[in-house]
Structure 1
Amino acid sequence: MIQELQAKGKKADVVAMKETNLTTVVLGSSKRKVATTVPRANEGSYVEEADPRRLTTTTTTKTDTVRVNIEKMLEQLSRPARLDGYSIYRVPASVRDSVDNKHYEPRLVSIGPYHRSKHHLRAMEDRKRLYLLRFLHDQHDDDDGSGRRDGLLQDCVGRVRKLEARARACYFESPATGDGEDDDDMFVEMLLLDGCFVVQLFIQWFCGATDPVFDVGWNLPLLHTDLLMLENQIPYFVLLALYDAYSHDPNRPPSARPKPSLTTIITSYFSEKEGRQPATTTATEDAIDHLLHLYHSTFVMPPPDHLPAPVQADCGGKLPRTIRCAKELTLHGVKFVRKPETTNVLDVTFCRDTGVFQIPRVAIEDSTCIRYMNLVAFEQCRGEAAVAEKHLTSYVVLMDYLINTAEDVVILDRADVMENKLANEEEAAKFFNQLRLSSYINYDDHYLAPVYRDVDAFCRRKWPKYKAKFRRDYLNSPWAIFGFCLATTFAVITLFNTIVTILQTFFHLFK
Structure 2
Amino acid sequence: MATETEFVTAPSTPEPADPMAPVVAEPPPPALHDTFEIVVEQRLRQHARDGGSSSPMTIFRVPAHVRDASKELYEPRLVSVGPYYRGRAALRAMEQHKWRYLHELLAEFPEASLADCVRAVRGVEHQARRCYSERTDIFAAGAGAAAEGENWQPRQQGDTGPGDGFAEMLLLDGGFVLQFFIKWYRREPDKLCDVGWGLPLLLSDLLLLENQIPFFVLEALFDAVNPEASRLGLLKLIVPHFKLDDSTFCKEVLAGVVPTEAGEIHHLLHLLYEAFVPRAEELASSPPPPPRYDARLARMGLRFKTAVSKRFVFVRDMPRVPGWRRLSASMTLLRKVSAWFGKALIGVKTKTEAEPPEPDDRSTAQPAAASDDRSTAPPPPMVVPSVTQLREAGVRFEMAPSPRHMFDVTFDAARGVLRMPRMEVDYANKAQLVNLVAFEQTMGGLRGGGGGGARLLSSYAALVGALARTDRDVEHLQERGVAENLLSGDGDAATRFFQQLGGCSSLDYGDHHFAAMFRDLSGYYHSSWRRHKAKFLRDHCSSPWAVLALVVAGCAFCFALIKFGTTMYGLAHPYCHC
TM score, norm. by length of structure 1: 0.78
CA distance in 2, matches of 1:183, 1:301: 46
Alignment partner, residue 267 of structure 2: 290
Alignment partner, residue 485 of structure 1: 551
- Write the mapping of 1:179-198 to structure 2, written as runs, cut at 5 A: 179-180=141-142, 185-198=164-177
Q: Secondary structure of the equivalent of 2:200? A: helix
**Aligned match for 1:329, one of 390, 404, 410:** 390
Gaps of 5+ in 2: 1-9, 14-28, 146-160, 254-258, 290-366
Q: Give the direction of change, closer, same or farther, for the CA distance of 1:69–1:328 in structure 2 (3 Å limit).
A: same
Structure 1 residues 77-86 or 202-211, which shifts more? 77-86
- Write the mapping of 1:46-445 to structure 2, written as runs, cut at 5 A: 60=32, 63=34, 65-79=35-49, 81-83=51-53, 84-97=55-68, 99-138=69-108, 145=110, 148=111, 151-177=112-138, 179-180=141-142, 185-248=164-227, 261-271=233-243, 278-280=250-252, 284=261, 286-302=263-279, 304-307=283-286, 313=374, 315-342=376-403, 344-383=405-444, 388-423=453-488, 424-445=490-511
Superposed displacement of residue 300, structure 1: 1.9
Residue type at the aligned position of 2:170: L
CA distance in 2, matches of 1:493, 1:224: 72
Listed one character per residue, the Cα deviations across residues 241-293 of structure 1 (whole Å, up to 9, x for unaligned) are: 111122227xxxxxxx7995111221111127x99795447565541100000
CA distance in 2, matches of 1:452, 1:406: 22
Superposed displacement of residue 422, structure 1: 2.1
CA contact (8 A) 1:271 1:279 kept: no
CA contact (8 A) 1:176 1:183 kept: no
CA contact (8 A) 2:219 2:231 kept: no
Q: Give the direction of change, closer, same or farther, for the CA distance of 1:460–1:44 in structure 2 (3 Å limit).
A: closer
Listed one character per residue, the Cα deviations across residues 5-63 of structure 1 (whole Å, up to 9, x for unaligned) are: xxxxxxxxxxxxxxxxxxxxxxxxxxxxxxxxxxxxxx9999xxxxxxxxx89x936x2
CA contact (8 A) 1:115 1:232 kept: yes
Structure 1 residues 456-465 or 498-507, which shifts more? 498-507
Q: What RMSD over aligned residues (CA atoms) do the two structures have, in Å?
A: 3.3
CA contact (8 A) 2:437 2:502 kept: no
CA contact (8 A) 2:247 2:275 kept: no
Q: Give the direction of change, closer, same or farther, for the CA distance of 1:404–1:171 in structure 2 (3 Å limit).
A: same
Q: Give the direction of change, closer, same or farther, for the CA distance of 1:306–1:337 in structure 2 (3 Å limit).
A: farther
CA contact (8 A) 1:90 1:230 kept: yes
**Number of residue-to-residue matches in the alignment:** 442
Listed one character per residue, the Cα deviations across residues 285-323 of structure 1 (whole Å, up to 9, x for unaligned) are: 541100000000111223622458997647343232221
Listed one character per residue, the Cα deviations across residues 107-130 of structure 1 (whole Å, up to 9, x for unaligned) are: 111111111111111111111111
Residue type at the aligned position of 1:179: A
Residue type at the aligned position of 1:456: S
CA contact (8 A) 1:267 1:279 kept: no
Q: Give the direction of change, closer, same or farther, for the CA distance of 1:115–1:283 in structure 2 (3 Å limit).
A: farther
CA distance in 2, matches of 1:365, 1:501: 69
Superposed displacement of residue 491, structure 1: 3.4
CA distance in 2, matches of 1:167, 1:268: 26
- Write the mapping of 1:459-478 to structure 2, written as runs, cut at 5 A: 459-478=525-544
Residue type at the aligned position of 1:231: E
Gaps of 5+ in 1: 1-42, 47-55, 250-256
Listed one character per residue, the Cα deviations across residues 327-368 of structure 1 (whole Å, up to 9, x for unaligned) are: 111112222111121262211111222221111111111111
Q: Secondary structure of the equivalent of 1:60? A: coil
Superposed displacement of residue 218, structure 1: 1.7
Q: Give the direction of change, closer, same or farther, for the CA distance of 1:128–1:223 in structure 2 (3 Å limit).
A: same
CA distance in 1, matches of 2:246, 2:87: 34
Superposed displacement of residue 381, structure 1: 2.5
Q: Secondary structure of the equivalent of 1:419? A: strand
Q: Secondary structure of the equivalent of 2:397? A: strand
Residue type at the aligned position of 1:390: R
